[in-house]
Structure 1
Amino acid sequence: METTATASVLMEIQPTILKFTKMLASVLHLEVEIVDATLTRIAGTGPFDNNLGECLNTNSHLLRYVIDNKKEKMVIQFHNDPLCSKCDSRNNCTEKAFLGVPIIINDNCIGVISLVAVNFEQQLVIKKNVQMLCDYIRHISAIFVEKIVEIPDSKIVSNRFFNTLIENMDQGVIMLNKDDVVMLSNHAAQKMLGVTEHNISSLSLKISPLTPKEGFDRGFDQYLVIFQDQKILLTGQLHPVEDHRLFLMAFHQSHGKDIDPLNADAPDIHQLIGNSKPMRTLKQLISRIAPGQSSVLIAGESGTGKEVVARAIHGLSKRRAQSFIAINCAAIPEQLLESELFGYVKGAFTGASAQGKVGLLQAANGGTLFLDEIGDMPMMLQAKLLRVIESREVTPIGASKPMPLDIRIVSATNQNLQNYIAQGKFREDLYYRLNVIPVNLVPLRERKNDIELLMHFFLNLHSIRMDYSYPGMTQEVIEILNAYQWPGNVRELSNLMEYLVNIVPSGEVIERDLLPPHLFSIPIKPRRQDPVTELTDDLNKAIAGQSNLEVMEKQLIEEAMQRHRNKKLAAEELGIGVATLYRKIKKYELHDC
């Protein structure tokens, strides 16, 4: 068989070669380049993932040597190899090591599979595993010759070379078939999942990214791994390989334990991250009220995610195919808010657009209108909004007749609207129209069990958005952030994760010294599951003279009294007696709360 006649065979099976090349590079942590006998690049990774289908005309002495001599070639020190002396890029070469294996058919070399190190870590991999790598690459060469596209996937999985390579890897590896059943795993993966080789065989395993992603296919991500009654958060890479998926676990795992038992009674609303009891209750409530038409009023501190909840309600409603229009009543000047909401017709007032303007109420027709910071709406507009809700029609500024309107109003506030009503700042009749279904969001400090999951969610989200690899964080950092009170709630946590993604050096893990200064003094204490028990213990420690817990105690009492003007209800929430609460109020001078 002539070389020229067989050279095109590799190009004919290029799709198969490309898939194997990607898998090979991921498993071995080396760069891969495959060329045919004419030095045409068939496939490659890293710096070799370009100019596919083009002939390499220069600096290809090592590849040419393998083709001409039909034998393997290894180079660890390029400056010392005679073949490299002919290379005109010798003095600025970026390659640290090379291992080339010929692809032989009928005693003719039709191409080369080469493994290349472009850094010192990869150089060490080649240097320490030469024989194993040679054996494995010979096997890959044989697969190409036998046209692997016609070989069943089961033969690949059962191959002893592949099994040996996977089992001897330090990082966990799992291969799933198209039905998400485990076909192959190594000891490291079994240890990470807490199962034995016998138990993992034919186990059904669901692996999905923690953060929805589009077009992001490099670096490590956070994945939820679900099997039996467990849900585990792991860092790794998920690669499609024909009808299979290969999951490569990272060496560093910020979170390898069971994050929370699955709750059959908690709906899966992917916008809402958390498995704590308040979040499960919230998800159940949203799933019940979303299909209806009634107005919803979402109350909660700033940064608790009120708009996220509003969008979740819209997304689960019958209006989800229509518009979701959001407006922040506090962010728009009072003189512009009316025209923004109601719109205006041509010539309605001096300076009006010649074409008129469609108001947000009309823009939301058929969908959902979200009014954030509703407490800051001027009284005059409150009256007009009430009229719209009652009549189901809207009259743009300057219009002579109203237009029919079909919207669902979801509003939100971080204010106590009942106090506003008492002060004459908010209409009572509008309040009851908006507050048909009240939804109260708890602050993040009362969702302690969700903090760690949210850390990883936002860390992963911002890494993907900025096209960085997921960095992970040390257990010490996780404990510090769990102990923090998060006055800015979920928004503050998201901003901190974005800050850390920006400053952590590439390839490193987030450690304590990267945290902002105000977090350095946070005392680390064991997490507790019961917030009442946690508060009681903190009170006892405060009595013993621990001033940092006294600050926490004062803050918790203040917040409870702001939520409950009735001191009996506040004491019940805190888990203490009314008499004890009065003593604490006197101690901390909280009479005006």
Structure 2
Amino acid sequence: MRYTATPFKGWTHGKHVKRDTAYPLPADSDLEHAAFAPLALGDTTIATVVHRLQRAAKSNLPILLHGETGTGKELFARAIHAASARCNGPFVALNCASIPEGLIESELFGHRAGAFTGASTRGARGLIQQANGGTLFLDEIGDMPLAMQSRLLRVLAEKEVTPVGADTPIKTDFRIISATHRDLQERAARHAFREDLLFRLHGLAVTLPPLRTRTDIGELARRLLAAEQTVIGRRLTLEPCANRLIARLRWPGNVRQLRQVLTTAAWLSDAPGIRAIDIETALESGITDMMAGPANAGHDAPRHTVGNAAPEDARSLLLLSLRRNRWNVSSTAREFNTARTTIYRRMARFGIVQPNLLDS
């Protein structure tokens, strides 16, 4: 029987260390297709990434995943593991940014009994040993302390690890996948990241596109919403106006933010389908305040086009901008690249009233 890592169940937030157990795949399942199918939904850039990773998964190449926060780097790492010859082994993940510098050494390399104050009396196997025969995923590798980078480099070069307080190295056999949202070459140039370690990690490097550039956002939203149906207890659909609004927002938190907003909208809505107003409510509910950024926030951030949008979309976009800018009409006008008088006319047409005028 063939096994692979725990199946994808969406975008979850767990502890900084994860070690998956195995589950059986159907005998006639195509391993690569089963691993990457949830990730390839029609976007050409993602399709190219998947094609490269499918080929690389069969090898033992170290893989470096680059992308903004929330683009799904761990999901892609799990897919690589699941499609590899190591799929029967463990998938062990460590978020290098979420663990204190003083603890990362013992977490990663393990320690002997009594090696330091507070150490376990029985010692502990580090994550590198736990990943033996499988895959070690180091998320946010760009935040790893320099001292730990040196030790990791030695492990990768010698294929052995020496626990804290031990004298004898232990042989290891694991595949390393790392991920970061930082520019490691720039950090290496500033001596904030070891260049020789970067060469070790850079067997194959791929960049995951931000959600705002993906053409499959509608299908992705439907998949994410469908995954919540069992928990919420009813069939969930997206109204066309909600689909259009989702496609127009920048989603600085990427897929992680999209799922969070959809989940919140589904719980708060009492309508048969999720509407644009439900998305607006979820964005301002306090679950997340990462709303669509200003039009000049990045080179790939398109200008808002309220004038050409459907009425329900135009009102949603205008309202979001006004709230984000704390009802500063001048700032909103700059965001839409139009005159203040135009914003006032649109507010009147859509029945949008500034809060300070409601009692007038």
Q: Normalising to structure 2: TM-score of the pair?
A: 0.70
1:493-530 CA-to-partner distances (Å, cap 9, x unmatched) read 1111111121122x622222222256899756579xxx
**Cα shift at 1:471:** 2.3
Query: In the alignment, is residue 477 of structure 1 matched against residue 242 of structure 2?
Result: yes
In 1, Cα distance between the equivalents of 2:130 and 2:182? 27
**Cα shift at 1:469:** 1.1
CA, structure 1 residues 311+513, in 2 after alignment: closer, same or farther (shift >3 Å)? Answer: same
In 2, Cα distance between the equivalents of 1:294 and 1:374? 17
Query: In the alignment, is residue 491 of structure 1 matched against residue 286 of structure 2?
Result: no
Of residues 271, 289, 293, the one that matches 2:56 is 289
- Per the alignment, residue 229 of structure 2 pairs with 463
- Contact (CA 8 Å) 2:305, 2:336: kept in 1 or not? no
**Cα shift at 1:550:** 5.1
Of residues 194, 218, 227, the one that matches 1:452 is 218
What are the equivalent positions in structure 2 for 1:367-386 lying under 5 Å apart?
A: 367-386=134-153
- Corresponding pairs, count: 269
Query: Aligned with 1:486: secondary structure?
Result: coil
**Cα shift at 1:212:** 7.7
What are the equivalent positions in structure 2 for 1:394-413 lying under 5 Å apart?
A: 394-413=161-180
Of residues 54, 66, 69, the one that matches 1:302 is 69
Work out which structure has the larger RCO, using CA pairs closer than 8 Å and 6 or more positions apart in sequence. Answer: 2
- Per the alignment, residue 510 of structure 1 pairs with 274
In 2, Cα distance between the equivalents of 1:272 and 1:335? 36
Of residues 186, 191, 211, the one that matches 1:424 is 191
- Per the alignment, residue 230 of structure 1 pairs with none
Query: Aligned with 1:399: secondary structure?
Result: coil
Query: Aligned with 1:327: secondary structure?
Result: strand
Question: What's the RMSD between the two structures over aligned residues?
Answer: 2.6
Query: Aligned with 1:302: secondary structure?
Result: coil
**Cα shift at 1:271:** 3.1
In 2, Cα distance between the equivalents of 1:283 and 1:375? 23
- Contact (CA 8 Å) 2:40, 2:47: kept in 1 or not? no
Aligned residue identity for 2:278:
L
CA, structure 1 residues 318+336, in 2 after alignment: closer, same or farther (shift >3 Å)? Answer: same
- Per the alignment, residue 388 of structure 1 pairs with 155
Specify the structure having the higher radius of gyration (Cα).
1
What are the equivalent positions in structure 2 for 1:172-191 lying under 5 Å apart?
A: none
Aligned residue identity for 1:458:
L
Identity among equivalent pairs (%): 40
- Per the alignment, residue 316 of structure 2 pairs with none
Query: Aligned with 2:216: secondary structure?
Result: helix
Aligned residue identity for 1:462:
E
Moved beyond 3 Å, runs of 4+? 517-527, 546-551
**Cα shift at 1:491:** 0.8
Query: In the alignment, is residue 271 of structure 1 matched against residue 271 of structure 2?
Result: no
- Per the alignment, residue 30 of structure 1 pairs with none
- For structure 1, which runs of at least 5 residues remain unmatched after alignment? 1-210, 214-265, 528-545, 552-593
Aligned residue identity for 1:499:
T
Higher share in strand: 1
In 2, Cα distance between the equivalents of 1:549 and 1:384? 51
**Cα shift at 1:549:** 5.2
**Cα shift at 1:355:** 0.9
- Per the alignment, residue 265 of structure 2 pairs with 500
1:331-382 CA-to-partner distances (Å, cap 9, x unmatched) read 0000000000000011212221111111000000000000000010000000
